[in-house]
Amino acid sequence: MAFTTKATIASFGGKLLKLSHQAKSTNCEMGLNLYLPPQAASDSGKKVPVLFYLAGLTCTGDNGAEKGFFQHGASQKGMAIVYPDTSPRGLNIEGEDEAYDFGSGAGFYVNATKEPYSKGYNMYTYITEELPNALFSSFKQLDSSRMGITGHSMGGHGALTLFLKNPGMYKSVSAFAPIANPINCPWGQKAFKGYFGEDQQQKWKEHDASELVKQWKGPLDILIDVGTGDNFYKQGQLLPENFMKAAKESGNDKDIKLRMQPDYDHSYYFISSFAEDHIAHAAKHLLAYVPSPPQTPPAVSTVPRGEALPWQPAFRGPMGDEPGIPTKILPPPLPIARPLSVQSRQSAVAALLNTFAPRGGPVVVRLPISPPHDRLATPTTPCLPPVVDRGPPSVATYAACCTAGNDQFGAEAAGRLCADV
């Protein structure tokens, strides 16, 4: 399915594309915004993870792209962002444009079963199937194995329900001021009555995050922000407490973080204030997931042996003998070439640390060893010496302790080495 590019806008080193395409599920032309970070340059061959941002009532794909301030963090993490529309447009259904909270701009990310809205109001299928399939087919730099989802208000409802209804499809989820219990608030009751019918109460529950969370099995790491100055929160439209109560009663609340932000309202001033927190939350999951290595390994670096890296890491060890220190272990095979020169192995370690290192904590990285380059240390080359060897033959374990501001390397290098994901 081909996209039409209506505009290309430079943004934080990447490109914001304003796109449109004909969608079968919604029976109309759908508009959207797609942000490609600098790491997704078309000639780089690198695939980047994708975060879907679902907007709220009355919005289009432009609101989050233009006012949410997501691109800044996404450019640093190397993450693409998709900003879809919130409903079909121009279906000429009687009454679809009469209210801000139903019909146009208010699709609620469900598949309508009640006539006449069942003829095009299929935003659930559009967001979970048709749109991602079209994007991954047209933009090869997008990684279909690493999708996350977030959203605001009605879009926060969409993010939570789509994540909970599709275990494993999305690697991360978060929400801004979500409509967290729609079957018990005026917005949700109006929408579900119009899209499903008043007598379809079970169908209502199938699209309510506070009902779905009761059935969840396994870890559930969710970040939710709500402003205490939000008038819709005060009116009982959001009901985040109901979601947390249901999660607690089902034993699923341990990793759900609900942050009540003092004085913030429901606007994009609120969203933009915490956008980078949600980008970091998504990156924690999207960048930690390592897809299967490619069939054809990348070419071996030809950088001359002995050329120094621009930073000198600090070390502690052996990490394996120090209990209580959290580590992330990346077992082989890794998508890196063999044999590895000194410089290429150092570059691989640096790249892995940039992705996985938690601020102030050690990281353990395992790399294949290819003789005759079993030793990284030379008199003139900074290196990561082997401190633990717990792996199978031909695998050595290297460790570096990241501490921002450490005297042994500069702040710029510390920021690059200890990326905060």
* Residue 292 lies inside a defined structural domain of this protein: no
Q: For the stretch 344-379, what's the b/e string if a residue is b when 16 or more beta carbons lie within 10 angstroms of its beta carbon?
A: bbbbbbbebbbbbbbeeebbbbbbbbeeeeeebeee
In this model, does residue 44 exceed pLDDT 60?
yes
**Cis peptide bond N-terminal to 219, omega within 30:** no
Q: Which pLDDT score, from 0 to 100, does residue 292 have?
A: 52
Q: How many domains are contained in the chain?
A: 2
Residues 373 and 278 in one domain: no
Look up 230 and say whether it is catalytic: yes
In this model, does residue 171 exceed pLDDT 50?
yes
* Residue 300 lies inside a defined structural domain of this protein: no
Q: Which pLDDT score, from 0 to 100, does residue 253 have?
A: 96
Give 41's pLDDT tier (boundaries 50, 70, 90).
confident
251 φψ region: left (φ > 0), alpha (ψ -120 to 50), beta (else): left
- Of the listed ranges 104-113, 215-224, 394-403, the least confidently predicted one is 394-403
Residues 249 and 359 in one domain: no
Final residue belonging to a domain, choices 238, 267, 286:
286
Q: Which pLDDT score, from 0 to 100, does residue 224 have?
A: 98
Summarize pLDDT for 230-259 with one digit per residue, the tens.
999 999 999 999 999 999 999 999 999 999
Residues 137 and 28 in one domain: yes
Residues 211 and 348 in one domain: no
Q: Which pLDDT score, from 0 to 100, does residue 2 have?
A: 87
Count of alpha carbons within 13 angstroms of residue 16, beta-carbon side: 19
Structure tokens at 149: 């989802």
- Which whole number is the average pLDDT over 372-383? 31
Judged by DSSP in three states, 155 sits in helix
* Residue 303 lies inside a defined structural domain of this protein: no
Rounded Cα distance between 85 and 121, Å, is 12
Rounded Cα distance between 103 and 84, Å, is 16
In this model, does residue 394 exceed pLDDT 60?
no
Residues 227 and 279 in one domain: yes
Q: Which pLDDT score, from 0 to 100, does residue 46 have?
A: 84
Name, of 56-60, 323-327, 377-381, the range with top average pLDDT. 56-60
* Residue 281: how many other CB atoms lie within 10 Å: 22
Q: Which pLDDT score, from 0 to 100, does residue 295 have?
A: 52
Count of alpha carbons within 13 angstroms of residue 160, beta-carbon side: 33
CATH of the domain at 171: 3.40.50.1820
Q: State residue 76 phi and psi, 5-degree precision.
A: -75, -35
Q: Which amino acid is at 163?
A: F
Residues 397 and 274 in one domain: no
Q: What is the pTM of this model?
A: 0.70
Q: Which of 25, 87, 104, 153 is catalytic?
A: 153
* Residue 406 lies inside a defined structural domain of this protein: yes
Look up 72 and say whether it is catalytic: no
Final residue belonging to a domain, choices 286, 308, 343:
286
Give 143's pLDDT tier (boundaries 50, 70, 90).
very high
Q: State residue 119 phi and psi, 5-degree precision.
A: -80, 0
Summarize pLDDT for 58-115 with one digit per residue, the tens.
999 999 999 999 999 999 999 999 999 999 999 999 999 999 999 999 999 999 999 9
* Residue 314 lies inside a defined structural domain of this protein: no
Nearest to 320 by CA among 377, 390, 254, 370: 390
Domain hosting residue 393, numbered range: 319-417
Residues 100 and 224 in one domain: yes
H or E, element range at 172: strand 172-176
Residues 229 and 349 in one domain: no
Any idea what DSSP says for residue 185? S
- Which whole number is the average pLDDT over 11-27? 97
Rounded Cα distance between 402 and 316, Å, is 10
In this model, does residue 324 exceed pLDDT 80?
no
Residues 271 and 358 in one domain: no
Structure tokens at 48: 């980047």
Final residue belonging to a domain, choices 286, 309, 339:
286
Rounded Cα distance between 151 and 282, Å, is 12
- Of the listed ranges 130-139, 277-286, 342-351, the least confidently predicted one is 342-351
Look up 321 and say whether it is catalytic: no
